[in-house]
Structure 1
C-alpha cells in the first residue's frame, strides 16, 4: 500500500508538467498560423501595388509611343533625340541660329498677342554672334493688288538682297499673284480685316512691324501704301535711312477740330491735351522705336477705347506716343510726299497725264530744305503718293532717265 501511495504521488507530480506543455504547443501553433496569414496578406498587398505601378508604367510608355506614331512619321526622329524635324520635306534644326534669326516662311499661327510679345523680345548683348548686314524693311499696307508692283520690281532689281526685306499686309483671303522669281514671292504676312479710319489700321501697322522685327537684320522700317512710289533709287534711299540718327514720323500740334478737336478728355491723365499730336500715317522708324511701339499696350488701349468715331487713330497714335516718350529720337517729319492742296479728306491722286520729267523733279524739290542729323538738307522726301494705276506705264518709261533705276 505504501508503494501504491508513492506511485500515485509520483504520478500526481508528473501530471501538471504534461498539461503545461500541451497548452504551450497550442499557443505556438496559433502564432505560427497567424504569422503565416499576415505574411500571406502582406504578400498579396505588395503584389497588387507592384502590379498597379507596372501596368501604369507600361500604359504610359504605350501612350507615348502611340502619340509619336499619330503625330509624327517614323523617319522624323533622328539619333539626335528628336532635335531634327522634317519641314517641307527637309530636315530642319529647330534650335539653329538661322531658324531663330530669320523667318524663312512668313506664314505662322500666332495671334496678335503672341506675335507682339515675340517681336518685343530684345537681346541684352550688344554684340551680334553672326554677320549682320542692316536691312530696310519695306512694309506694304494694301487692300488687294499692288498696281505699282512692276515699278517696285525694277527698283529692287539687282540690289543686294541682304540690304532689304519685303512684307505685304493685304485683306484676308487675297493672294498676291507673282512668279516665284519675284522679290514679292511669299512675302505676305497673316492679316486681318482693316477698316479705314478705325483702330484696325493701327493693328495692321503693328502687325507689319512685329513680323518684320522677327528678322534681327531689319534695322529700318518703312510703311508704304499700294499707291506709293520711290522717287530715288535704292542706294540713295538705303544710305539716307541707314545714315540717319532719327526716325521719320510726322508729329505736330494741330489746334483745329481736325487735331485737338479729336482729343478725348477720358484719356487723362495718361494723355493730356498738350501731349496730343497728329501726323501722316506713312512713317519710317528705326528698330529700337519699332520694338517700343509693338510692345505698348497701355496707350494703344486708350486709343482703341476713346479715339472713335471720326478720330482716325492711325493719324494720332504713333505721333502722340513717340512725342510723349521719344521725341528726341524723332526727326518729326515724314519722308513720303502727299499733296493735300485740295483740302479734302483724301490727298490728290496723280494720273498718267501728270507724269513728266518736270513732275518728278517737282516731287523731289517740293520742300526747299529740312533737317537731317541736325543739319539742313534739300533731300527731304524719298517716296511719294498717291498714284493712280494709269500712271504706271509713263513712270516705267522714266525710271532710267530720272529715277535712276
Structure 2
C-alpha cells in the first residue's frame, strides 16, 4: 500500500509539473501573439497615418493653389498696373482695332501687309464712320513745305484726314507737340532711287494707312509737293470720286516699252506694259489689292531693274491688267516735264507767281471726273524747293483759299 501511495504521489508530482510546463508554454504563446498583434497594429497605424497626412497635405495644396489663383486673377483684373499698361499699348478694344493711335509697331513688311489686307465682311460699322483722306508723305528727310501744309490743315475736321510720314529710318521730324505732323512717322526702311525699294516704301505707307478703317482715299506726296486748292475742295473731290487717279499709259518709246523684259512672260506681256507717274491717289479697294499682291510684285522685283524703274511701271501695269475700270488713268499731281531731263523742273522763289499757281489750277485743258468733263484736273503740284516757301505763304490766302 505504501508503495502504491508513493507511486501515486510521484505520478501527481509529475502530472503537476507537466501541467505547469504546459501553462507556461500557453502563456508565452499568448504573450508572443499579443506582441505580434501590437507590432502589426503599430505598423498599420503608421502607414495609415502617412497616407492620411499626404492626402491632407495634397488637399491643402490644392486649396491653397485654387485660392491663390482666384486671388491672383481678381487682383490682375483690378490692378491699376494693367490699366496703365493698356494706356500705353493697344489693348483688345474696338477703338484700337479700327483706328490705332500709335503708329509704332514691330511688324515686318510681310506681317504688316497681311494685317492690312483684312477686309470686314459685315457691311454695318459698329462706330460712326467719317471717310478720311490719308495724306502719305514719302520723304528723304526734312520737309521744307511743312509750314504750308500746317496752314492747309489748320482748323479742319480731324475726323476727315490722317497723315503718314515715311522718312529715312534715322531721321526724326522735329515738330511741336501741337503739330498735326507730330508722331506721324511710320516704321520706315532705307529707300534707293530707281530700285524696288521705292515700291516697298509706297506699299508700307499704304499698309500703315489701311490699318485705320476710316481711311477711304490714299494720296502719295513728297516733301516738295504743295496743295493748289484748300482742304474742303480737295476732300470733296477725292471722297466723291468714283475712280482712283493713277497715271497709266502705253509709251512706245524706249522709256516705256523699251524697259519691258521678255522674262516677264507669260504673266506680263508687252501689251500689258504701262508707264505712269509715281505720285498716285487710290481708293481703299485698290489700295488693298496692291498691298495684297505678291506674284506680280516679285516679277517686277526680279526683272525690272535699271534702266527699268519699278515705281513708274508696277502699279500702272498691275491696275491696267486687273482693275482698269476703277482707274481714271491720270494723275492729280502736276509736274513740269517741259525740259528734256531725267527729272522734272523745280520751282524756286523766282518762279512763284500768282499766274503760275493759276496755270496749274486751270491750264486750259479738260479732264474726266466721274464720267464728266472738268477743268479741275490737278489738286497738288511738285517740285518746289525750300526757297519757294515764303512766296507761297504769301499767296495761299489769295489764290489757294487757306
Question: Which interval holds the TM-score relative to the shorter structure?
Answer: 0.7 to 0.9
1:269/1:86 CA distance change after superposition, 3 Å: same
1:177-196 superposed matches below 5 A: 177-196=174-193
Deviations 1:337-361 (A, max 9, x none): 0011112110000111111111111
CA distance in 1, matches of 2:236, 2:82: 41
State whether residues 246 and 328 of structure 2, in contact with CA within 8 Å, keep that contact through their aligned partners in structure 1: yes
Equivalent residues of 1:83, 1:94 under 8 A apart: no
Residue by residue over 1:15-43, the C-alpha shift from the partner in whole angstroms, topping out at 9 and shown as x without a partner, is: xxxxxxxxxxxxxx9xxx9xx99xx8xx9
Counterpart Cα distance in 1 of 2:328 and 2:301: 26
Write the distance in 1 (CA, Å) between the matches of 2:76 and 2:256: 60
Question: Unmatched 5+ residue regions in structure 1?
Answer: 1-28, 69-73
**Structure 2: how far apart are the matches of 1:110 and 1:180?**
26
After the TM superposition, which of the residue ranges 259-268 and 392-401 deviates more from structure 2?
Answer: 259-268
Residue pair 1:249, 1:283 contacting (<8 A) in 2 also = yes
Assess, with a 3 A threshold, how the Cα gap between structure 1 residues 287 and 354 changes in structure 2: closer, same or farther: same
In 2, Cα distance between the equivalents of 1:376 and 1:296? 33
CA positional deviation for 1:80: 8.6
1:219 to 182, 198, 216: 216
TM-score, normalised by the number of residues in structure 1: 0.82
Asked whether 1:79 is paired with 2:78, we answer: yes
| Corresponding residue pairs, total | 379
Structure-2 change in CA distance of 1:270 and 1:93 (3 Å): closer
CA–CA distance in structure 2, aligned partners of residues 284 and 366 of structure 1 = 20
Within the candidate set 179, 194, 197, 2:194 is matched to 197
Which of 129, 139, 142 is residue 126 of structure 2 equivalent to? Answer: 129
1:386/1:78 Cα in 2 relative to 1: closer, same or farther (>3 Å)?
same
Which residue of structure 2 aligns with residue 331 of structure 1?
A: 328
Q: Once the 2 structures are TM-superposed, how far is the Cα of residue 78 of structure 1 from its aligned partner? A: 2.6
Q: Which residue of 1 aligns with 2:354?
A: 357
Q: 2:90–2:100: 8 Å Cα contact kept in structure 1?
A: no
- Distance, in Å, in 2 between the alignment partners of 1:396 and 1:92 is 39
Equivalent position of 2:280 in the other structure: 283
Structure 1 residues 91, 398: closer, same or farther in 2, change over 3 A? closer
Change (3 A) 1:269 1:85: farther
CA change 1:367–1:261 in 2 (3 A) is farther
TM (normalized to structure 2)?
A: 0.82
The partner residue of 2:159 within 154, 157, 162 is: 162
- 1:150-204 per-residue CA deviation (whole Å, 9 max, x = no partner) reads 0000110111111000000000110001001111011100100000000000000
Counterpart Cα distance in 1 of 2:81 and 2:267: 50
**Structure-2 change in CA distance of 1:77 and 1:337 (3 Å):** same
SS class of match (2:186): coil
- Aligned to 2:181, what secondary structure does the other structure show? coil
User: Which structure has the greater CA radius of gyration?
Assistant: 2
Change (3 A) 1:129 1:330: same
Partner of 1:385: 382
Partner of 1:247: 244
CA distance in 2, matches of 1:308, 1:84: 51
Note the aligned Cα RMSD (angstroms): 3.9
Which residue of 1 is the match for residue 257 of structure 2?
A: 260
Equivalent residues in 2 for 1:16-27 (5 A)? none
Question: Paired residue for 2:391?
Answer: 394
Displacement of 1:366 in angstroms is 2.5
- Specify every segment of 5 or more residues in structure 2 that has no aligned partner in the other structure, as ranges: 1-35
Alignment partners' CA distance in 2, 1:299 and 1:246: 22
Does the aligned pair in 2 maintain the 1:77–1:84 contact within 8 Å?
Answer: no
Q: Which runs of 4+ in 1 moved over 4 A?
A: 80-85
| 1:348 corresponds to 2:339 | no
State the Cα deviation string for residues 355-400 of structure 1 (Å, max 9, x = none).
1111111111235101001111111000000111111100000011
- Contact 1:84-1:93 within 8 A present in 2 as well: no
1:236 match: secondary structure:
helix
Mapped partners of 2:260, 2:89: distance in 1: 51
Structure 1 residue 328: Cα displacement = 0.3
Shift of 1:219: 0.4
Q: Distance in 2 between matches of 1:313 and 1:250?
A: 14
Aligned match for 1:274, one of 264, 271, 274: 271
Structure-2 change in CA distance of 1:116 and 1:171 (3 Å): same
